Amino acid sequence: MPTLFLIIGYSLILLIMSPVTNMIKTSVGLFVMAEEPQFDFDDIKLEDVKFTKATDKTELKSSEIKYPHPGELYGKIAVPDVGVDVPLFFGDTLEILRYGAGQYMSSKFPGEIGTTIVGDHNGNQFGKLNNAEIGMLVNLSTTYGEYQFRIISKDIKNKDDAMVTSLLFQKKEPLLLLYTCYPIDSIGRTDDRIFVQCEYVSGPLINENE
């Protein structure tokens, strides 16, 4: 009889704890995924994105902006002088970079104070950044505003260079950092990158406190 009650007791405990256990497994899975998240790009078309036309507005309230979800196409980047014209996605997984340039999700959005970091494969449009020169303009269109930046430096550095970390955490001004693997004709991942740093020229700044 005691054995029977013991079995029943353990069964009740397992039944009660089952939802909690499953929740923990699901939560852990979010942080230790063996694969990158997958997105559905089959129906994505740049012409379907509604870009906001340039206006005289100098400020946008953060609360009024519809920020993109991970994997969402929300803009395009053009460097006319070297022929770069590429869709911009929020996120920079390998799958995203098959379709266009990707914003590092821990970086700032265009218009915010801080650095927007965007990468693309060297075999795609960003390979043309090898021909970019200081002073060239970069046009960045989004669903909430039109922006323009000016190239102020182009460097070849290790992907883990301290400059990248410094730019990621700076909170003084809106900057744009474009990058791609180097050498340009390399196949696969490399340790070096071309980093093109750009200063803000125009476009509505985002008030993150409103």
Give the 3-state DSSP-derived string for the chain, with helices as H, strands as E and coil as C: CHHHHHHHHHHHHHHHHHHHHHHHHHHHHHHCCCCCCCCCCCCCCHHHCCCCCCCCCCEEEHHHCCCCCCCCEEEEEEEHHHCEEEEEEECCCCCHHHCCEEECCCCCCCCCCEEEEEECCCCCHHHHHHHCCCCCEEEEEECCCEEEEEEEEEEEEECCCHHHHHHHHCCCCEEEEEEEEECCCCCCCCCEEEEEEEEEEECCEEECCC
Question: Which pLDDT tens digit goes with each residue over 107-125?
Answer: 999 999 999 999 999 988 9
pLDDT under 70: residue ranges of the chain = 1-56
Record the pTM.
0.76
Instruction: Please give the pLDDT value at position 118.
Output: 98
pLDDT at 189: 76
Say what the pLDDT of residue 144 is: 94
The pLDDT, as a whole number, for residue 176 is 99
Residue 56's pLDDT is what? 62
